[in-house]
Amino acid sequence: MYFFERSFDRCSDLGFPSVRKWKEQHPGGQVIAYFPVYAPVELIHAAGMLPVGLSGAGDRLDIQHADARFGSFICSIVKTTLEMGLTGHLEPFDGFLFSTICDSARNLCFVMKRNFPSMYVDFLHLPHNPSSPAATQFLAEEYRRVLGELERLGNCKVNDDALACSIALYNRNRALIRELYELRRRSPELVPTSELYQLIRCGNFLPVEEHTTELEQALTHFPSRNAKKRDSIRIVVEGSFCEQPPLPLIRLIEEAGCYIVDDDFVIGQNWFDSDIPTDGDPLLALACSYLDRSVYSSVRHDFRKPRWEGLVEKVRRSKADAVLFLIAKFCEPAYFDYVPYKQELEGAGIPHLPLEFEEKSFTFDRLRTEIETFVESLIFD
Ligand code: SF4
């Protein structure tokens, strides 16, 4: 078993052993969970707290209480997150941060607020119109407000040097992730996505310093492998930016004859396409970077750079043969975007296959048949 598989197992445990261990090592330290897709983790880190990305409970928790608070047509991650709270699993967390990704996540934030009044639950307003001249200042002020709440919670004061230091640590972490993605694009036989996914997802839980060490180890481990090239098609996976597909489904896609050469899994870990500046006002740097350095996403509206063009660019850059849409059941942002994505791909002559999953699925016979048929149709075209 590789080191990152051990970490992934620990991070998948709903007892949150890595979070409890951090709390033991930092008596009085506070842990702030954040809901996907993106959170300014640097603010939490600079306040001396541990940011933890919580992406639902997968198949590890039966929903018994959350169904009573939400309608039927709501994605699983919203329900399992609330279920974790209602069953006491969120006890190690001192706060929970949400942002403007969709109506379901917005409602979850306020349901959490009402059900857990002693917990710090906050909603981060990310700008919807990045071309507005007020967007940068608005976001910097919103970050200042959230930072003020964290200072109040942690009874601390965060200065610009601490923020710049946290930004530099996360810059290093994200640069290593970009390197790993580049290595996979060049040599997917060396970097199976089922392994890369586990490695990156651990970053949601581990302290950034520890996760960066794991990424560095991986960057020496993967290239030294003696892996044979398979006769597989190269695909980009799109649509799994929030609720995460079960790991066996990612393995199945690879076994069915696909090299996944790019994806949007756990996209918050890989949110910026270049480093955030560490000089000047750090909150302004974070705000400018959200507006100008973010990767495209179905939950970030930026008509200066339409995301359907971003998808075609991603396909070209990774020399992919096709796109696999892996969309969480009832995920509105992903389904709304499927239409313009499809039109753009068809215009560019790029084949695609739409599939639907739930984080708690455990049988994939129908999906296996669909993927194998798609792969064969491309190979024998
Ligand atoms: S999976 Fe989709 S619908 Fe559900 S919370 Fe995430 S973005 Fe919203």
Domain residue spans of the chain: 20-156
Among 238, 246, 195, smallest CA distance to 76 is for 246
Distance CA 306, CA 81 (A): 31
Give residue 365's identity as a one-letter amino acid code.
Answer: D
- Residue 69 has what pLDDT? 87
Q: For ligand 1, say whether the CB of 75 is within 6 Å of any of its atoms.
A: yes
Based on the number of CB atoms within 10 Å of its own CB, is 318 exposed (0-12), middle (13-18) or buried (19 or more)? Answer: buried
Q: Are 89 and 96 in contact (CB under 8 A)?
A: no
Across 60-160, the runs of DSSP E, i.e. the strands, are: 95-99, 120-124
- Residue 221 has what pLDDT? 94
Residue 228's φ and ψ, nearest 5 degrees, are -85, 145
Give residue 138's identity as a one-letter amino acid code.
Answer: F
Distance CA 259, CA 324 (A): 11
Distance CA 356, CA 104 (A): 18
> How do beta strands 95-99 and 31-34 pair?
parallel
Distance CA 187, CA 192 (A): 9
Q: Which atom of ligand 1 is nearest to the CA of 102?
A: 8
Q: Coil, strand, or helix at residue 297?
A: strand
CA angle 103, 106, 108 (to 5 degrees): 110
Q: What percent helix, strand, coil does the chain show, rounded to 5? A: 50, 10, 40
| CA 343 to ligand 1 centroid distance, Å | 23
Buried-exposed string 334-360: b where 16+ CB fall within 10 A, e elsewhere: bbebbeebeebbeeeebbbbbbbbbbb
- Residue 9 has what pLDDT? 83
Q: Are 197 and 236 in contact (CB under 8 A)?
A: no
Q: Which atom of ligand 1 is nearest to the CA of 332?
A: 3
Task: Count CA within 13 A, CB hemisphere, residue 152.
Answer: 8
| CA 336 to ligand 1 centroid distance, Å | 12
| CA 157 to ligand 1 centroid distance, Å | 34
- Residue 206 has what pLDDT? 94
**Measured over all CA atoms, what is the biggest interatomic distance in the chain, rounded to whole angstroms?**
64
Q: For ligand 1, say whether the CB of 77 is within 6 Å of any of its atoms.
A: yes
Look up the pTM and report it.
0.96
Ligand 1 site-directed mutation target among 70, 77, 98, 356, most atoms within 8 Å of CB: 77
- Residue 43 has what pLDDT? 98
- Cα of 340 vs its chain's centroid, Å: 22
Domain with residues 20-156, CATH architecture? 3-Layer(aba) Sandwich (3.40)
Across 272-347, the runs of DSSP E, i.e. the strands, are: 322-328
Q: For ligand 1, say whether the CB of 232 is within 6 Å of any of its atoms.
A: no
Q: For ligand 1, say whether the CB of 74 is within 6 Å of any of its atoms.
A: no
Q: Are 252 and 369 in contact (CB under 8 A)?
A: no
Residue 289's φ and ψ, nearest 5 degrees, are -70, -40
- Residue 296 has what pLDDT? 96
Mean pLDDT by 10 residues, the chain (381 residues): 78 91 96 98 98 94 90 94 97 97 96 95 95 96 98 97 98 98 98 96 95 96 92 97 97 97 97 97 98 96 92 98 98 97 98 96 93 94 74
Cis peptide before 37, with omega less than 30 degrees from 0? yes
- Residue 40 has what pLDDT? 98
C-alpha separations of 45 from 8, 92, 100, 310 in Å: 21, 17, 21, 31
Q: For ligand 1, say whether the CB of 78 is within 6 Å of any of its atoms.
A: yes
